[in-house]
Structures are given as C-alpha cells and as structure tokens.
Structure 1
Amino acid sequence: MTERVQWLDGARGVAIVMIVIHHAVILLAPLGLVHPDYVVARDLLATFPMPLFFLVSGVLSRSALTGSWGHLWRYRLAPLLWLYVVWTLVRFAWFSLVPLATRPDETDLVRLLVSPVWPTSGLWYLHALAVVLVVTKLMAGRVPLAVQLVGATLLSAAFFGPLDSGSIGYEGVAHYLLFFLVGAHFGPRLVGAVQGSTRVAPVLAVVAFLGAVVVVRLFVLQWLPIVPVVLSALAVAAGVLVLRHAPRLTSALRLDVLGRLTLVVYVTHFILLSAMTSLLALVVGPFGGAQPHPVLGVVALPVMVAAAVAGSVGIGTLVRRTPLESIYRLPARRASV
C-alpha cells in the first residue's frame, strides 16, 4: 500500500466512524443516554464525513465517468443500486421483527414501496451517489465545467438554506454534488497537492477551520446558506491534510483498513446500533428521561460505536466467499463499489 492510498483510505475510515457516531446520537438521544458534550462534538464535526465521501467518490469514479454508459452501469450504478435495494429490504425486515418505538417510520410500507425513487432512510447515500453519477455523466461535454461548479455551489447553498425537497436522498444530491464534481474533475491535482504538502499545511488548515467555526458562531452567521458549504470545504481540507501527515496514527488505529470497508460498515451498522438501543430501552424505557443518565450518558455512545463498527466489519468478513456475500456484492459480477 502506498502512502497516498493510506491517507485517502484513512480519511474514509474517520468519516465512517463519524457517521456511526451521528446515528448513535440519533438513536440514544430519545432515551436520555447522550451526554451533551457528545452532541456538541458531533455537530462540530458533521461538516466532514459526507462531503469527504462524495469528494473521494468523484476521484474514484473518473474512469467510470469517461467510459461508456454500459461501463458506468456495470461497475458503479448496478453495484450501488443492488446494495440500496437489498439493505432497504433487510432494514425493513429487521425493524418489523424488532421495532424501535422511536423509529416508527422504519416499518412504513408506503416509504418502502416508493424508496426506489424517493429515498428517505439512512441508506440515502447509495441512492444519491447513483443519481450524482448519472447527472455528472449527462453534463460531461455538454455543460461547461465552470457552469457546473457555479451551479452546484448555488444548488448546495439553496438547499442548505430555504429549499427543501422532502427527501434526504435528493437533499444529499443538492448538498454534495459540488464535492463530487471537484473530485471527478480535479482529483489527481488535489491528491498531488495533499501529497506534496508541507507539515505546516495541516496546522494552517485546522486553524482555518476552527477559526471559521468561531467566526460563524460569534457573529451568528449560521443562517447564511453558503456557510455550510464553506465549512465543509475547510473541514475536508483539514481532515485529509492531518491524516496525510499522520501515517503512524492512521496505521495504529487501522483507519486505512477501515476506509476500504466503508460500504460494509455503512449498510450494516445501523441495525447493530438499533439492536443495542432496544436492549438499553428495556432498562431506561422507550423514551428515557429529560436529563441524560449520569453514567450511561457517557459510556453508552463510545461502547455502541465501537461495537457497531467492529461488528459490521466482522459480519462482512464472516460472509465473505459464502452465499450470503451477495448482501454486499452484486451476485452476477464481483464489481468493486
């Protein structure tokens, strides 16, 4: 493995852990089992994971986008949509058997039936990425790149602002198309710039991100639609630069390995989190209390996140080269997603 692959995968590893943390907060908060400091940290770091995933997806999709539509379908769209459909059904079946009082929509049959065209579940990223791939392919050679980037920036700001599609999937397309386009069109140059950066670069990037956060909160600028776009760009820059210059940390925490298993963790972790949440609900009640539990509020989240990540990786490893592997791979072709 090259250093370049290591820090790129390490960034994806950090991002997927942040997503698991985000979902753990969502599930534990109604039970009164999340310490307020966790929520503050989650909100501060929320600008990193999804923009990073779309940026990296753009970088990794360059060959698929420059090939034929058939090539794009076989190696990107079909595997993504297979995962989306299979795990939408798995998720519906799971919550039908093990319902969670705080997640009644998970067993909504209408939502299930319209999910192929109207994604509203936590699996939205798979659907949104497929849409973004098609949109980018359609624009290639037809819409000037400058127009694409300006349009995507305005679209992102508009949907971070007053507009609302009603679908988390299409919201994701609007929010993060810009990052995918940047990765698809400038990927090699971005990777080269990060690779060739000096040791002072991550320090400056982190200072710039934290400084921007302070300015936004100090002057109450959260209402400006462009603010999330700018903060996301700064967060991604800071994250990848830090990991580029911390290869030993990346290796020690196995973040680079985890980064190659992000889709396995992404589709699996929520079910594992919900199972643990159901067990905790038996102790504190389905809706907990007004104040966080003094002990569980501190302990539950990190334990659940670690267990969900490790459990997801473990399940993915166990089913490898068995008939159940098809829940993670398109059966007709062992295509990488």
Structure 2
Amino acid sequence: MIRGTTATADRPDAARVRSHRRTGIGPAAGAPRRAQWADAAKGVCIILVVLWHVVVKDYLQVDWHVGVPVPGLWGALGEQFLPLRMPLFFTISGVFAANAVRRPWRVVARGRVAGFLYLYALWLLIHTVVLAVAPDFPTDRATSALGLLEQLTVTPSNLWYLYALALYFTLAKATRTAPRLLVLVPAGVLSAVAAAGLLETPGNRAGLYQNLVFFLAGLYLRPQIERWAATATGRRLVLTSGAYGLALAVMAVAGAQQWWGVWPLVSVVAVAFGVTAAARLERWPTLSGRLATLGRVTLPVYVIHMPVLAVLHRLLHEPVSGLGDVGQGLIVLGYPVVLTGVVIGTSLAVHRGLLAVRAGWLFALPGTRRLEPAR
C-alpha cells in the first residue's frame, strides 16, 4: 500500500533518488516506472479506507437529529464498497510484488517480511498509546498486556494490512515453485469459508483470510491484469460497473452475503471494475495523476489516519451532536467528505513533519530502502 514520494515529485531524477535513499521511500535507482493506473487505484482505495472509518467510527456515532436518513445512506454507501476496497488493494499489492518474490530469501525475509512485521509492531504500539486518550472511540485497541500480545500474534489490529503482507510474502515465496492452482485454489476456498462465517474470525482475521487469494491473483496474473488495464474501453467500464451493481443488488435482495463463495465472486467482479475504472481515469490526467500521487504515499495515511481520526472524534463528537437542526442540516451531507479530506491531509502533514526531523525509521525498517511490495 505503501510508500511516499510526494515530497520529491517535482525534483530532478538525481535529487529524487538521493531523497529515496535517505528516507527509504520510493523506487530504487534504475527501476522501471510504475503504471499510473495501479497507483491511481491505490489512491482511490486509501480514500475509501479512510472514508469508511470516518463513517463508521465518527459520523454514525454523532447524535444526528436532522429528520432525514442521510447518515444511514452514508453507511449503506460505504458498505457497497466493501467487496472492492481491500480486494483491489491486495490485487494491486500482488501485482507490485511479482518481481520482489523472485529475489533471494534473505532479501525477501528482511526487506518484506521483517519490514512489514516491524512496521506493524511499531505502529501497533503507537496506536495503543494514542488511542488510550480516546477511550470512547469505537475501534479495536489493546487494553492489557495480554491483549497487546494477542494483537501482535494471532488477532491483528486495524493495522492488519501490514501483518497480512508479511504473511502473504512468506507464503508466496515459500510456494513460488509450486503449481499455481495448488496455491490459488486453497486460498480461494479459505476466502469463501471465512466470508461465509464458517471460521472463527475475531478482530481482523476475516480480512486476513479473505484477501490472500487476491494478493496471489495479483502476483500470478500480473500480465493478464496489465493487459486488462491496457485494453480497457468505455464499453468495458459500463459492463463491469453494471455487473458490479447487479451483483451487489442480487446479493442484498437474496441475503446472500454469507452464502458460500458469493462474497469472493462479487469481489472478483469488483476488482475487474476497479482495474477498468482506474485505467480509464488516465483519460483525465490531472485527476489520475493526483490519485496516483496519493497512491504512492499510502503508508503514512494508513498508519497515521486512525490516531488522527480518534483525536478529531474526541474534539468534534459533542459539539456536532449538540448543534441545532439547522446547523446539522447544513453539514450532514458533506461532513464525511470534508472530514476524510482533513484526516488524509493531516496524516500527510504529520508524515512530512516526521521526515523533516529524521524519523524515517517510523516508515521503514532501518537499513531497508522500500516499504511496499513493488516491481
């Protein structure tokens, strides 16, 4: 998910490489240019991640008394992106990981497995401390040493994406020479079983089980996914968006969210739509470029946004709940959008500040250069 290059986006190449080496963020010298559609897709995904957390952890906790069902509509809208957001994120992560898993074990173990576990453990400790000042903020947090140990080992926290990548890289490297179907099929079965509620999934284990197949699909099917993006047409965008909308509608009407195999299948349709839409966005280079820029700095947003949101929730919850009907009516529709922008902007500002005081170790294992499964 996870890298930062914004601060050097307009510098000459040599300066950019020096900055990447200094901060551990960005592509290595001589690395091929990343596909803009993939970074744009990641940018959209991180926006959807933050928006969902804003909606369920702050917006829906406010005592709205506006007389119209706008808050419920925001909640329902956020749920429609659940089959898209993390499956697409992990698919793109798998695409970027395709070259990394070919490297020697010592490189993968340190640069990927240890790197992601380091970030997960470090930011879990930071989250635990910061979230302690917002006890009413509705999110998973460790409240004891045993709870912290559990989150470090078997039941990952809200930072579970980092934990998942460490495990996924280990599995991908260990099974690299195995027939792909012997890896993909069990991963697909695991996803279907977890989505159907047939496994115990406390905390964020459900996401851990459900998304392995999408990471592996991105890893194994990178050429096919890149061709799908390169040949995207307006007609395909209409067809895939329609298929996604129809799949969501049928799943909702039939109450089939936990039918075996339904959720992964809908997520596959969602990923096909997401890749197509991201590729077609390149027709609007300004928008696509900005989303791609955000997509290259998703680590700071991912690890910082929850503490930022917790602090803002503590500051805003009572004042917003106490507004009159007119005041709430003026903000009820746009509140999640504005707060999402504030949270992302604040997260990036905190990131820049930390880099300015030479705290790059917060975003990469010391001695490593990259933070994400790239190229």
What TM-score do the two structures reach when normalised by structure 1? 0.90
- Tell me what 1:210 maps to: 245
Assess, with a 3 A threshold, how the Cα gap between structure 1 residues 218 and 92 changes in structure 2: closer, same or farther.
closer
What's the counterpart of residue 233 of structure 1? 268
Indicate the residue corresponding to 1:31 in structure 2.
62
Query: What displacement does 1:230 show?
Result: 1.2
Change (3 A) 1:218 1:103: closer
Match of 2:47 in 1: 17
Q: State the partner residue of 1:302.
A: 337
Structure 2 CA distance, aligned partners of 1:140 and 1:43?
Answer: 35
The one-letter code sitting in structure 2 at the alignment partner of 1:139 is T
Instruction: Provide the C-alpha distance between the structure 1 equivalents of 2:287 and 2:138, rounded to a whole number of angstroms.
Output: 36
| CA distance, structure 1, for counterparts of residue 34 and residue 364 of structure 2 | 26
Match of 2:156 in 1: 120
Unaligned runs of 5+ in 2: 1-8, 10-31, 65-69
**Structure 1 residue 210: Cα displacement:** 1.0
> Is the 8 Å Cα contact of residues 309 and 343 (structure 2) preserved in structure 1?
yes
What amino acid does structure 1 have at the position aligned with 2:57? L
Contact 1:51/1:179, CA 8 A, preserved across alignment? yes
Deviation at 1:107, TM superposition (A): 4.5
* Identity %, equivalent residues: 28
The answer on whether the counterparts of 2:51 and 2:336 sit within 8 Å (CA) in structure 1 is yes
CA distance in 2, matches of 1:200, 1:162: 36
Aligned pair 1:76/2:112, yes or no?
yes
2:39–2:296 CA contact under 8 A, matched in 1: yes
User: Structure 2: which amino acid aligns with 1:69?
Assistant: W
Determine which of 313, 319, 323 is the counterpart of 1:277: 313
Question: Structure 1 CA distance, aligned partners of 2:358 and 2:205?
Answer: 33
Equivalent position of 1:330 in the other structure: 365
Unaligned runs of 5+ in 1: none
Instruction: Provide the alpha-carbon RMSD of the alignment.
Output: 2.4
Mapped pair 1:58 → 2:88: no
Matched residues in 2 for 1:108 and 1:49: separation?
29
Is 2:117 the partner of 1:86? no
CA offset at residue 233 of structure 1? 1.0
Deviates more, 1:108-117 or 1:247-256: 247-256
Deviations 1:122-178 (A, max 9, x none): 101110111111122222224x22222221111111000132334444322310111
Deviation, 1:271, is: 1.0
TM-score by length of 2: 0.81
Offset, 1:190: 1.2
Please tell me whether residue 149 in structure 1 is matched to residue 180 in structure 2. no
Query: What count of residue pairs does the alignment treat as equivalent?
Result: 330
Between the aligned partners of 2:100 and 2:33, the Cα distance in structure 1 is 24
Rounded to whole Å, the distance in 2 between the matches of 1:134 and 1:124 is 15
